[in-house]
Chain A
Amino acid sequence: MRVSMDLELKDIPGQLLLALKPISDFKGNLISVVHHHEKKTPRGTIPVQVLFEVKPDHLDDLISDLEERGVRVVSMDEKRYLEHGAVILIGHIVHTDIQDTIDQIDNTGYAEVVDLNLSMPKINMPSSASLKIDAVSKKDLQAVVELLKSIAREKDLLVIEPIESQLRLMK
């Protein structure tokens, strides 16, 4: 997941490296660092904003590590799902237990159905739905589309996914 943090560092040499070390230790991928040396706080500390990706289960340890080093974590914003996908389903979507279809995706732990638009023209006619799925990473998004396709085979639904070149680019 992607995490943005506002940190406060002591105004002595070596503090920035000290603050970034835990991110690297927990295999985080640093995206940006903004060091506001000119905006010293009334407490005499230097505010730093960092943006990085890290596995969700490493986050708590990473924060404790920072605090042990005397780096203050002022605020944090996390975004778990980085990838957004869209698929279309055609078939007897409701009658084949739509709740179960959604639950199977939500229960993966790495993806969730975040939007569903359903069109049911007539009783006994196949319905159509557009599904928006958020996933932790590109790999997880591909995995969840594969899962959806296997569910669809069981329930005799047609899954229409984006073209390959689009899947590679999709954000």
Chain B
Amino acid sequence: MKTIRASVIGFGAVGQGVAKVLLEKNDYLRSIGIDIRIVAIADSRTAVIDGEGVDLSAVLASKKEKGVVGTEKISGTGIIKSVDHELVIETTPTNINDGGVGLVNMFAAFEKSMDVVTSNKGPLALKYVELFEAANISGSSLKFEASVGGAMPVINLACETLAGNKILSMEGIFNGTCNYILSRMVEEHASYEQMLAEAQELGIAEADPSYDVEGIDTASKLVIVANAVFGMNASYKDVTVTGITRITPEALLLANVDGYAIKLIGEVNDGKINVAPKLVPLVHPLAVGGTLNVFSVQTDISGPITITGRGAGSIETASAILSDIISLYKQ
């Protein structure tokens, strides 16, 4: 049995999902020789530290009831710098302007030769090359399946499962919020504003939806894909981005009459990274509805391969973090 001491930095939806998944999968993890001991958890205001292992159920209850994880006043970065452990599970919110605290945390972890498993897109979309350089220097691993496509295996599918194939291009729907709004606009023949409001009411869209509907979220994910799968040295500024805010119900109807759906499509093709609403034939495998995500890779020897699944959600994203942890520590 290998004991891995880990911290969870960031305890929003994804961080809590990680705690739940670790509780649920504890026996399974031990059966494959992995003992994940969470020694510290931090949210944006408080922290809890216990070298013998934090009681995850108690922390989840405290977060639910009191809105905080504990009583300690140390920051996530402080924990990485001062608490001895091997793995940082970085689930702080994405900041696409400067990488935010997530970027600071990742560099701090590498300085201490810790491994990082993250769902945080911002640092990867901005400083992919620098992060991997820092990880390599300290002999650390950096895994980020959870940053792209939630439960869908995007990075690991292309880099590991399809090893030997050359990935020629990728296209897909990487944002469930946009997909929900566009799907509902067709169903209800309603305006963008109306269906955005509905999505906000259901918690599918944020109060400030610009990150999703302007295509920023999709663009960040594509930058990560471009770097990890296509070996490009891209950053967010290399993406041409058009969002869905101008789409009208009339346009959706006209497209439908011609046999098309309109979807916010992200594509990496020929060294170009592009996010824009596109016409997808209704019978095409990319034409999935609701909040689903989907992507297709074009490979040289296997042809096209399409995967669809839930692209967001607390447990779904945590499942991708779990798979990264297992692939890191499984003997």
A161 touches B250 (CB 8 A): no
Tell me if B128 counts as interface (CB < 8 A to partner A). Answer: no
Tell me if B104 counts as interface (CB < 8 A to partner A). Answer: no
A86-B260, A90-B246, A126-B246 as given contacts; A163 in contact with B280, CB under 8 Å? yes
Tell me if A127 counts as interface (CB < 8 A to partner B). Answer: yes
Give the residue name and chain of the B residue nearest to A115 (CB). B258
Tell me if B257 counts as interface (CB < 8 A to partner A). Answer: yes
A86-B260, A88-B255 as given contacts; A162 in contact with B250, CB under 8 Å? no
Least Cβ–Cβ distance between B34 and chain A, in angstroms: 40
Tell me if B75 counts as interface (CB < 8 A to partner A). Answer: no
Kindly state the separation between the CA atoms of A165 and B168 in the bound complex, as whole angstroms: 11
Instruction: Mark out the residues of chain B between 244 and 267 whose CB falls within 8 Å of any chain A CB in the assembled complex.
Output: 246-248, 250-251, 253-255, 257-258, 260, 262, 265, 267
Kindly state the separation between the CA atoms of A91 and B277 in the bound complex, as whole angstroms: 14
A166 touches B246 (CB 8 A): no
Instruction: Mark out the residues of chain B between 222 and 262 whose CB falls within 8 Å of any chain A CB in the assembled complex.
Output: 242, 246-248, 250-251, 253-255, 257-258, 260, 262
B246 touches A130 (CB 8 A): no
A119-B253, A130-B255, A165-B304 as given contacts; A160 in contact with B278, CB under 8 Å? yes
Give the residue name and chain of the B residue nearest to A157 (CB). B246
Kindly state the separation between the CA atoms of A91 and B246 in the bound complex, as whole angstroms: 8
Least Cβ–Cβ distance between B146 and chain A, in angstroms: 26
Q: Give the residue among A90, A161, A164 with the most B Cβ atoms within 10 A.
A: A164
Tell me if B298 counts as interface (CB < 8 A to partner A). Answer: yes
A130-B258, A160-B277, A166-B279 as given contacts; A121 in contact with B251, CB under 8 Å? no
Spell out B's residues near A (CB within 8 Å).
169, 171, 242, 246-248, 250-251, 253-255, 257-258, 260, 262, 265, 267, 269, 276-281, 284, 286, 296, 298, 304
